[in-house]
Amino acid sequence: MKNIDVNRTLGEIVAQFPGTVSTMNNYKIDYCCGGKDTLIEVINSLKLDEISILEEMELSIDEFQKLHYKTRSWNEESLSTIIDYILHTHHVFMKETLAEINDLMFKILKVHYKTNGEILLQVHGLFGKLKTELEAHLVKEEENLFPMILEYEKTNNQDLKKEIAKYIKETENEHDVAGDVFKQLELLTNDFKAPDDACYSYQRTYGLLDALEKDTFNHIHMENTILFGKIGG
């Protein structure tokens, strides 16, 4: 295949070829929390057909390049530029989406309790756990980790870099926790598919959960592979 080396990590592949995200999403390939796994390891563990996956990825790359004539090379950007992007794109989206889902979740649980109460109670519980984890995660990044990284960018203080490495490890562990909750929600909701007779609020809730998962995976990729990789943590 002309672009993809199956021995490279998922994080490296997505960083160079963002168009592959659509194929990875289709096959539930975890390129965010599993960004350090090689593509061939994942193909084998999921028992996927290597040739078919690579062909689809190549097509995805071609389609992406047609839509985006110039792809931003994040590896060439400064730490402060990457952090600014994460804050104003992923953090803003996450806060707004969590708030909207939270409002809708209780509403659909009350309205649809008699018909789908058992599943919705589990979804409600998992979302509550996810919301708590993600909101705490955002605060720790905005008030602690990111300011430390910005200070390191200015000073190149190696002692500070060692301290940042400790926070990076904690942050990556939190990413894994969020990824696990999303996987449970996927299974419980049949990949976020609302019942055929579901009302708009029900459909909207599941649609937002799906969008939140996809954006969170991109968010984690930006941090684990791009930002933390640039620091060397």
* pLDDT, tens digit (0-9, with 9 covering 90-100), for 39-72: 999 999 999 999 999 999 888 887 776 665 445 6
222 and 151 in a single domain? The answer is yes
Nearest 5°: the CA angle 178, 232, 225 is: 40
Residue 158 lies in a domain: yes
27 and 47 in a single domain? The answer is yes
100 and 214 in a single domain? The answer is yes
| pLDDT confidence of residue 92 | 92
Q: What is the identity of the amino acid at 1?
A: M
24 and 137 in a single domain? The answer is no
Nearest to 40, CA basis, from 89, 83, 1, 79 = 1
Domain coverage including residue 14: 10-67
17 and 83 in a single domain? The answer is no
- Name the residue with higher pLDDT: 20 or 81: 81
| Domain finish residue from 67, 90, 111 | 67
| pLDDT confidence of residue 70 | 47
- What SS3 state is found at 38? strand
Cα–Cα distance, 127 to 144 (Å, whole number): 25
14 by Cβ neighbours in 10 Å (0-12 / 13-18 / 19+) ranks as: buried
| pLDDT confidence of residue 68 | 53
202 and 98 in a single domain? The answer is yes
**Do 59 and 89 contact (CB within 8 A), yes or no?**
no
186 and 212 in a single domain? The answer is yes
- Supply the pTM of this predicted model: 0.74
Residue 84 lies in a domain: yes
Share of the chain above pLDDT 90, in %: 54
Residue 5 lies in a domain: no
| Domain finish residue from 48, 67, 86 | 67
83 and 198 in a single domain? The answer is yes
Nearest to 220, CA basis, from 8, 24, 35, 96 = 35
Residue 1 lies in a domain: no
26 and 136 in a single domain? The answer is no
53 and 91 in a single domain? The answer is no
Residue 2: pLDDT band with limits 50, 70, 90: low
97 and 153 in a single domain? The answer is yes
87 and 49 in a single domain? The answer is no
Domain count of the fold of the chain: 2
